[in-house]
Structure 1
Amino acid sequence: MSVIQQQQRLAAAIRDGADAVDLLAGDHALGLEVYRHAYRARLVAALTDNYTVLARALGDEAFEALGQAYLAARPSQHPSIRWFGHELAAFMAAADDELVPHASLVDFARMDWALRGAFDAAEALPLDPVTLAALGPDDWAGLVLHLQPSAQRVVLSHAIEPAWRVLREWDPESGDDQPELPEPVPHEHVLLTWRQDGETRWRSLEPLEAVLLQAVADGAPFALLCERAATELGDTEAAAPAVIGALQRWLADGLLRAT
């Protein structure tokens, strides 16, 4: 057996629990168990870092159980542990009540991951309002806007944001008990996350802005944004002012990139 083959088998033994009795025996076999434990512990620690608020919501013991179950079902496939956990929300949605005692916890996972994605996204030059001011009246209908790479939109099924904010501000290392949390009631809506000036930001979207941002993401021209607004509002005259108002907010928030 070549050195490379031995390394591959040893890695499989640590990662997957594969048999390596012909490679290690005695004290060395005991050392393999140490490596197996350390491997799993490091990945669960990475999961805790990627899902900080979810981990606080569940508590150490419950999150450890969730992490170990996820690792067993979805082994890490990426060279960087930064990306370990990208399927956690989907895994939780199909898990039993013992691992996920409240359905809203799936949304905690979705929000945590969206914010981490916004933080790590590529940087692009923001759209300069001067560029829009230079447009002529005939240029607006065909104008296509572009979202920053950091802009993440995720559908949530519960109003978790108040509880998420409380947990995010709580420091478990302070010794204080977990604060009382607002009840996350069922409420399907879109959460927007993005990065501005090096800081991750988020807000819950009203239905109209969610529709407009979806149209922007789809590459719809400005005229079509106005049509979508008219349909959503049921008022043709109010459509253009509503889209302009949304555009002004997007510029202030740095959500749009230059082409």
Structure 2
Amino acid sequence: MSVIQQQRQLAAAIRDGGDAASLLAGDYALGLAVYRDAYRARLVAALADNYTVLARALGDEAFDALGRAYIAAQPSRHPSIRWFGHELAGFMAEAGDDLVPHASLVDFAAMDWALRGAFDAAEAPPLDPAALAALGPDDWAGLVLQLQPSAQRVPLAYAIEPAWRVLREWEPELGSDQPELPEPAPHEHVLLAWRQGLETRWRSLEPLEAALLNAVAAGTPFALLCERAAAELGDPEAAAPAVIQHLQRWLADGLLQRCPS
């Protein structure tokens, strides 16, 4: 067996629980269990870093059990440990009550991951409001806006934001007990997460803004954005002012990138 084959077999034994009997014997074989446990503990720690609020909501023991179950189902395959856990929310949605005692915890995972993704996303030159002010009346109809790469829209099934905020502000390392949490009520809506400067931001979207941002992400020109707003509002006269109002907020929030010339 070549050295490379030996390395691969040992890595598989540590990562996937493969057999390394031909490589190790005696005390070395016993030590393999230590490496296996350390490897999984490191991955659970990476999950806790990516899912800080979810980990606080579950507590150390329950999060460790969830993490190890996820590792068994979805072994790490990405070269960077930063991206380990990208399927955790989907895994939780299919897991039983023993791992996910409340369905809203899936939304906690989705929100945590979206904010981490927003922080690490690329940055494009922002759209200058002056460029829009310079447009002529005939230019607006075909105008196609573009979102910043960090802008992410996350569908949620529960109103988790109040509890998420409380947990995010809690500092368990200071020894304080977990704060009382408002129980998330069922509420289907969309969360917007993005990065402005060096800060990640988020807010819940009303149905009209969520629909408009979906249309912007799909490359819908401005005239059709107004038509979409008219359909949502049931009032054609209110459509254009509503779209302009949202556009002004998107510019202030740094959500839009410079349109290609």
TM-score by length of 1: 0.99
Offset of residue 158 of structure 1: 0.1
State the partner residue of 1:29: 29
1:174 and 1:233 map into 2 onto residues whose CA distance is 49
State the partner residue of 1:133: 133
State the partner residue of 2:77: 77
Equivalence map 1:1-259=2 (5 Å): 1-259=1-259
- Partner-residue secondary structure (3-state), 2:203: strand
1:162 and 1:52 map into 2 onto residues whose CA distance is 16
2:137 and 2:116 map into 1 onto residues whose CA distance is 40
- Partner-residue secondary structure (3-state), 2:256: coil
CA-based RMSD of the aligned residues comes to: 0.5
1:186 and 1:206 map into 2 onto residues whose CA distance is 16
Offset of residue 197 of structure 1: 1.0
1:90-144 CA distances to partner (integer Å, 9 max, x unpaired)? 0000000010000000000000000000000001100000100000000000000
- Partner-residue secondary structure (3-state), 2:98: coil
1:197 and 1:89 map into 2 onto residues whose CA distance is 27
- Partner-residue secondary structure (3-state), 2:153: strand
Structure 1 unaligned spans of 5+: none
1:174 and 1:230 map into 2 onto residues whose CA distance is 51
1:83 and 1:105 map into 2 onto residues whose CA distance is 20
Offset of residue 50 of structure 1: 0.4
Offset of residue 174 of structure 1: 1.2
- Partner-residue secondary structure (3-state), 1:46: helix
Offset of residue 162 of structure 1: 0.2
2:86 and 2:162 map into 1 onto residues whose CA distance is 24
Q: What amino acid sits opposite 1:56 in the alignment?
A: R
1:30 and 1:195 map into 2 onto residues whose CA distance is 47
Q: What amino acid sits opposite 2:20 in the alignment?
A: A
- Partner-residue secondary structure (3-state), 2:146: coil
2:105 and 2:136 map into 1 onto residues whose CA distance is 49
TM-score by length of 2: 0.99
Offset of residue 177 of structure 1: 0.6
1:72 and 1:171 map into 2 onto residues whose CA distance is 30
Q: What amino acid sits opposite 2:183 in the alignment?
A: E
2:30 and 2:131 map into 1 onto residues whose CA distance is 66
2:158 and 2:255 map into 1 onto residues whose CA distance is 25
Offset of residue 32 of structure 1: 1.2
1:29-66 CA distances to partner (integer Å, 9 max, x unpaired)? 12211111110000000000000000000000000000
Q: What amino acid sits opposite 2:232 in the alignment?
A: E
Q: What amino acid sits opposite 1:125 in the alignment?
A: P
Q: What amino acid sits opposite 2:227 in the alignment?
A: E
Q: What amino acid sits opposite 1:31 in the alignment?
A: G
What percent identity do the matched residue pairs reach? 83
